[in-house]
Amino acid sequence: MSIKTRKFHRLLGLVLLLPLFGWALTGAVFFVKPGYQGAYEPLAVKAHPLAEGVQIRPEPHWRQVRLVDTVLGSHLLVTTEGPPLHLQPGSQQPLPPPDEAQLRLLLQDAVSVNPARYGDIVELEGSRTRTSTGGNLSLDWNTLGLRQEGRDTRLINGLYRVHYLQWLPSAAANRVLGLAGLGLLLAMALVGLRLCFGRRG
């Protein structure tokens, strides 16, 4: 029985060798956190000095108001109980999304805070943008929210997927894989305890 148990324990160890190696390697990266500052650096649309004489007439359904001046002019950003509003400050009518030239100007102005990381805007695809350094930018026009993702961000996110056994394209399949990995790890630990404290024979 002991020989069979040892063989089973050895087989479990071989099966778990790859995920254990992945857990150890990625765990060390998460502990040291190399490159995290740049990979998850917050990026915002650059604010310019506000124009004088702008008057705002709040509506009853408004919850929060923010007036921002960018390289494209003034923006009135409104939070409501429903979707956020992006308005023209004077008329308080919806401000239409920028055309390609305006979007390029707005994003190039934003990335100018760190040209070494972002470089230049080289490709525009709707609200997503690619930079000359391999980064991706995503703009939410309704809130003027800006997100950045570089090669280092994608690498670290990939390491997270390795660490948490997110190896498959399906979320449901990944949950099964994760539970299976934890089950195998628990089984190996229990078999190891039996080998340590069980009777030899």
Calculate what percentage of the chain has a pLDDT beyond 70.
93
- In 3-state terms, what secondary structure has residue 112? coil
Beta-bridge mates of residue 11: none
At 199 the pLDDT is 58
At 134 the pLDDT is 92
Other CB atoms within 10 A of residue 135 CB: 22
Residue 171 buriedness (CB in 10 A; 0-12 / 13-18 / 19+) = exposed
CA distance 201 to 199: 6
CA distance 18 to 181: 11
CA distance 124 to 41: 21
At 1 the pLDDT is 47
| Residue at 123: amino acid letter | E
Domain boundaries of the chain, sorted by first residue: 2-37+156-197, 43-149
- Spell out where 132-191 has E strands: 136-140, 145-149
At 188 the pLDDT is 74
Half-sphere exposure in the Cβ direction for 144 (13 Å, CA): 25
At 177 the pLDDT is 80
Note the pTM of the prediction, 2 decimals.
0.74
pLDDT beneath 50: ranges in the chain:
1
At 2 the pLDDT is 63
